[in-house]
Amino acid sequence: MTRRIRNPWVVVPAYNEAPVVGSVVSGIRHAGYTVVVVDDGSADRTGEVALLAGAVVLRHPINLGQGAALQTGIDYVLEKLADALVTFDADGQHSTAAIAALLAAIEQPGIDFALGSRFLTGATANLPVSRRILLSAAIWFTRASTGLPVTDTHNGLRAMTARGARAISLRQNRMAHASEILHQIAQSRLRFVEVPVNIEYSAYSLGKGQRLTDAMTILIDLFARRLYR
Ligand SMILES: Nc1nc2c(ncn2[C@@H]2O[C@H](COP(=O)(O)OP(=O)(O)O)[C@@H](O)[C@H]2O)c(=O)[nH]1
Ligand SMILES: [Mg+2]
């Protein structure tokens, strides 16, 4: 028997995404979902654009990083009695079709997390070679340190039940929160599945995605993990 999700929310962290966040929000709204955008201290009109497109908008007065933006969104939707949530990037890289697939995965009994993967059969991973190399290293480290047999680690597209969300408490800044989530999933002993998702690498997203310095930060954070365990 499957569980029935009644009140799913889509949580969108956004930092200076005014050119694209409007179409991202309206795509999610058209797919039938309630969405909260966490405007992470943007210097542009991200918050206004998201609001006009039909999102609930929360604002950080200063930029706190993607992990903090996600945690603000997670706390908010739990207060709104969401029974599930999907995390979704604001930069147009994610496809709204994935939302239903991820939610269907956590409707399976005993599954509290569905993690988007670019590297499962069914996904087309058209990512640039430099990203692929970077990700391979991150995936290798994360598998080794969490013991979770994941095929993708730094993918912002995921779903979790409210119970799963309550087991997550992000403290890592910048992009290191992606591996932090996996560590907390491992610690929670709740079950996860991976779901194939396609990620679009547009000129826009490549222009502002993670850079090599972020990758170094991720690797250093992975090594320093004992600090917060
Ligand atoms: N880079 C960055 N992204 C943030 C921040 N806060 C929120 N975000 C959002 O997090 C999402 C993922 O960021 P992105 O740079 O595209 O990462 P990538 O696609 O994993 O390389 C986007 O929707 C951003 O708008 C921040 O401080 N820095
Ligand atoms: Mg991106």
Task: Establish whether residue 63 lines the binding site of ligand 1, counting it when its CB lies within 6 angstroms of any ligand atom.
Answer: yes
Task: Establish whether residue 39 lines the binding site of ligand 1, counting it when its CB lies within 6 angstroms of any ligand atom.
Answer: no
Identify the nearest ligand to the CA of 156 by its number: 1
Sign of CA dihedral 131, 136, 137, 138: positive
Atom of ligand 1 nearest to the CA of 91: 23
pLDDT score for 227: 47
Query: Nearest C-alpha to atom 19 of ligand 1 is from which residue?
Result: 209
Q: What tokens were used for 97?
A: 């079709």
Yes or no: say if 137 and 175 are a contact pair by the CB < 8 Å rule: no
Which residues are within 8 A (CB) of 75 and not within 5 positions of it... i.e. 6 or more apart?
none
pLDDT score for 214: 62
Task: Establish whether residue 184 lines the binding site of ligand 1, counting it when its CB lies within 6 angstroms of any ligand atom.
Answer: no
Instruction: Give the 3-state secondary structure of 110-135.
Output: CEEEEEEECCCCCCCCCCCHHHHHHH
Class of domain 8-228: alpha beta
User: What does the pLDDT profile of the chain (229 residues) look like in tens digits?
Assistant: 567 999 999 999 999 999 999 999 999 999 999 999 999 999 999 999 999 999 999 999 999 999 999 999 999 999 999 999 999 999 999 999 999 999 999 999 999 999 999 998 878 767 888 888 888 888 888 888 888 999 998 899 999 999 999 999 999 876 688 889 999 999 999 999 999 999 888 888 888 766 556 666 666 666 665 445 4
Task: Write down the domain spans for the chain.
Answer: 8-228
- In 3D space, the residue among 166, 165, 142, 146 whose CA is nearest the CA of residue 155 turns out to be 142
Ligand 1: centre distance to CA 39 (Å): 11
Which residues are within 8 A (CB) of 183 and not within 5 positions of it... i.e. 6 or more apart?
145, 146, 225, 229
This prediction has a pTM of: 0.90
**How far apart, in whole angstroms, are the C-alpha atoms of residue 4 and residue 80?**
17
Amino acid present at 103 = L
Yes or no: say if 11 and 74 are a contact pair by the CB < 8 Å rule: yes
